Amino acid sequence: MVTLKMILNGQEVSVDVEPGDLLADVFRDKLGLIGTKISSGEGECGACTVLVDGKAVDSCIYPAIKVQGREVITIEGLGQDNRLDAIQQAFVDKTAPQCGYCVPGMVISAKALLDENPHPTRKEIEKRISGNLCRCTGYYQIIEAIELAAERLAGKGGLE
Amino acid sequence: MWDEYLFPASVEEALEMLEAHGGEARIIAGGTDLVLQSQRGQCLAKVMVDITRIAGLDHIEERDGLIYIGARVTHGQVAASPLICSRAGVLAEACGSVGGAQIRNVGTLVGNVVNALPAADGAIALFALDAEAEVAERTGRRWTPISTLYAGVGLCTVDPCAAMITQLRFRALGKGEAGAFERLAKRRALVLPILNAAAVVGLQGDKVAKARIAIGPVAPTPFIAAEAAEALVGRIPHEASVTEAAKLAAQAAQPRDSLLRGSAEYRKAMVEVLVRRALWRAVEAASLQEGEDGNS
């Protein structure tokens, strides 16, 4: 066992992990954060996307121990209490979720994009979410939701 | 999976850790391939030596006309680097087409080489750039041409249980020189290529002074179409000469029948198309660059 310390969703967290544990499993099985989904389990679908030091990574193939001392954001880190974050709200308003399984990863990928580039073109959005598979929507509502989030955030001057 | 996970602070410490575990330990960087290989029982190492916290392996820099890229540098960092985009665009294009953003944020270019797959996008561009790798062993460091790192499909001559690649280098493309990368795949992201090709062309006046063409996966290792490139040298790069070179490249390539990638016949025909496109874009970019420099 190794004691893993990280800043998780803004809070210092300490958790005992095995050297071979993967980050998505630590969230789901040890920390009760089941918003992060596992689908392909091999970095193919992006359902498990989280931010490590602001960069999107597939947590299902990311050794947990790599986040020692780092800042990590999962879907649970967005929004406050019963208020959704601007990206989540845009997904609701555009009816972007259908089965919903890809949505946490999609939202995190969108956040990584908008944090870096607040005014992405449609092409930039498409390219950025190409690591996130959705088998329901055909992506249109998702892309529109990210565009809407970008517009709203520009009006408010940045992510909350 | 593994039993122990170590973070050395220096290359020397990493090599000591490998030696201390006598073949049971191996180097890991991003782990985007290694985690899966370990889960599938294809990597039996019990101890992982993670190099991503070693200082001094995260550089992308130019010195004396050569570009150096450290072992920690990810595909995403290469694709976004202004230096790589302006002086080795072919590599930026190749690295930008690996996986999705999440994979590019984690997987390293050096890892792409150490995995030694003949379809690796980054490696194909490095072959076209005639890159070299610096290998660190207990006996010291040495530079070696990238082609010497490949012993077969998935087989790198640098044993990750005993040594590591610390950086890559290649000549920055200059006046009248440019490259281009082309890729054919079933989807535009997150899928291995049916074929890929990288070309680097240097022009002198209106003639081709040098050319280098790399293609994958059409052999057990990344393939250099030397004859095709040679056929272009000394000639004006018009449609006929470029098409002829592309045909020679297709003749030399030996793609296999593949349930995943298509028939050998189809893929051979597509080699010609990809090489022609890559050469043509490289020629256009190279002549544009020469023109711009001439005007300034």
Residue B121: give its domain's CATH number.
Answer: 3.30.465.10
Q: Which of A19, A130, A133 sits opposite B188 (nearest CB)?
A: A130
B55 assigned to some structural domain: no
Q: Band the pLDDT of B83: cuts 50, 70, 90.
A: very high
Alpha-carbon distances of A41 from A61, B8, B39, rounded to whole Å: 7, 28, 11
B67 assigned to some structural domain: yes
CB of B206 within 8 A of CB of B217? no
For B173-205, letters b (16+ CB in 10 Å) and e give beebbbbbbbbbbeeebbebbbbbbbbbbbbee
For A119-130, letters b (16+ CB in 10 Å) and e give ebeeeebbbbbb
Q: Give percent of chain B above pLDDT 90.
A: 93
CATH superfamily placement of domain A2-77: Beta-grasp domain (3.10.20.30)
Note the pTM of the prediction, 2 decimals.
0.95
Q: Which of A18, A22, A57 sits opposite B102 (nearest CB)?
A: A57
**Mean pLDDT within B65-72:** 98
Q: Looking at residue B295, what is its pLDDT?
A: 39
B252 assigned to some structural domain: yes
Hey, is the C-beta of A16 within 8 angstroms of any chain B C-beta?
no
**Mean pLDDT within B224-244:** 97
Q: What is the CATH number of domain A86-156?
A: 1.10.150.120
Closest to B9 measured CA to CA, from B62, B49, B41, B66: B49
Q: Is the ipTM of this complex over 0.90?
A: yes
B48 Cβ contact partners less than 8 Å away, ≥ 6 residues apart: A19, A63, B2, B4, B5, B6, B25, B26, B28, B31, B34
Q: Flag if B101 and A20 touch (Cβ within 8 Å).
A: no
pLDDT tens per residue across span B42-59: 999 999 999 999 999 999
Give the chain B residue nearest A47 (alpha carbons): B102
B166 is written with which tokens? 């610390």
Hey, is the C-beta of A4 within 8 angstroms of any chain B C-beta?
no
Q: Flag if B2 and A62 touch (Cβ within 8 Å).
A: no
Hey, is the C-beta of A19 within 8 angstroms of any chain B C-beta?
yes
Q: Flag if A62 and B35 touch (Cβ within 8 Å).
A: yes
Regarding whether B226 and B203 lie in a shared domain, the answer is yes
pLDDT tens per residue across span B28-45: 999 999 999 999 999 999
Q: Looking at residue A157, what is its pLDDT?
A: 53
Q: Looking at residue B220, what is its pLDDT?
A: 95
Q: Flag if B52 and A62 touch (Cβ within 8 Å).
A: no
Q: Looking at residue A155, what is its pLDDT?
A: 85
Regarding whether B113 and B199 lie in a shared domain, the answer is no
Count of the separate structural domains present in chain B: 3
Q: Say how far apart CA A95 and CA A108 lie, in whole Å.
A: 17
Q: Flag if A2 and B5 touch (Cβ within 8 Å).
A: yes
Give the range of the structural domain holding residue B43, as residue numbers without chain letter: 4-50
Q: Which of A2, A19, A128 sits opposite B101 (nearest CB)?
A: A128
Q: Band the pLDDT of B259: cuts 50, 70, 90.
A: confident
Q: Flag if A20 and B31 touch (Cβ within 8 Å).
A: no
